[in-house]
Structure 1
Amino acid sequence: MLFALERVSENLIEDMKAYAVGRQGIERLEQMIFSALPFEARGIPGWQVWVAFLGYAVGRETLVQEHRKRYDFLRQIICQELAELQTAKLIRDGLDLTLEANALIALVDGIGTGVVINPEQFRPGQQRYLVQRHNGNIPDITPNWDIIWK
Structure 2
Amino acid sequence: MSQEERRLEVSEAAWRVIVREGLDRTSMRAIAQEMGCTTGVVTHYFRNKHELILFALHQVTEKLQVFMEKGTQSVSGFERLVAMLSAFLPLDVERQDILRVWLAFLGYAVGRENLMTEHQHSAARLRALVVQELQQLQAAQLLRKDIDPTIEANALLAFVNGLSLDWLIQADCLTAEQQQWAIRQYVSDRLAKKPI
Shorter-normalised TM-score: what interval? Answer: 0.7 to 0.9
CA offset digits 1:52-83 (Å, max 9, x no partner): 11110001000111011111111111111001
What is the rounded CA distance, in whole Å, between the counterparts of 1:76 and 1:42 in structure 2? 23
**Is structure 2 residue 187 aligned with structure 1 residue 135?**
yes
CA offset digits 1:10-60 (Å, max 9, x no partner): 100011011111221000111111122111234211111111111100010
Give the conservation status (yes or no) of the 8 Å contact 1:36–1:108: yes
Give the conservation status (yes or no) of the 8 Å contact 2:82–2:183: yes
What is the rounded CA distance, in whole Å, between the counterparts of 1:78 and 1:40 in structure 2? 21
**Is structure 2 residue 166 aligned with structure 1 residue 108?**
no
Which of 79, 83, 100 is equivalent to 1:31?
A: 83
Return the TM-score normalized by structure 2: 0.66
Long gaps (5+) in structure 2: 1-52, 191-196
Query: How far is 1:119 from its partner?
Result: 5.9
Q: CA RMSD in A?
A: 1.6
Question: Within 5 Å, which residues of 2 pair with 1:18-97?
Answer: 18-97=70-149
What is the rounded CA distance, in whole Å, between the counterparts of 2:171 and 2:82 in structure 1? 21
Return the TM-score normalized by structure 1: 0.86
**Is structure 2 residue 54 aligned with structure 1 residue 2?**
yes
SS at match of 1:21: coil
Give the conservation status (yes or no) of the 8 Å contact 2:88–2:161: no
Give the conservation status (yes or no) of the 8 Å contact 2:89–2:164: yes
What is the rounded CA distance, in whole Å, between the counterparts of 2:59 and 2:174 in structure 1? 24
Number of matched pairs: 138
The structure whose RCO (Cα within 8 Å, separation 6+) is larger is 1
Q: Which amino acid aligns with 2:167?
A: V
Give the conservation status (yes or no) of the 8 Å contact 1:44–1:115: no
SS at match of 1:121: coil
**Is structure 2 residue 67 aligned with structure 1 residue 15?**
yes
Large movers: runs of 4+ above 6 Å: none
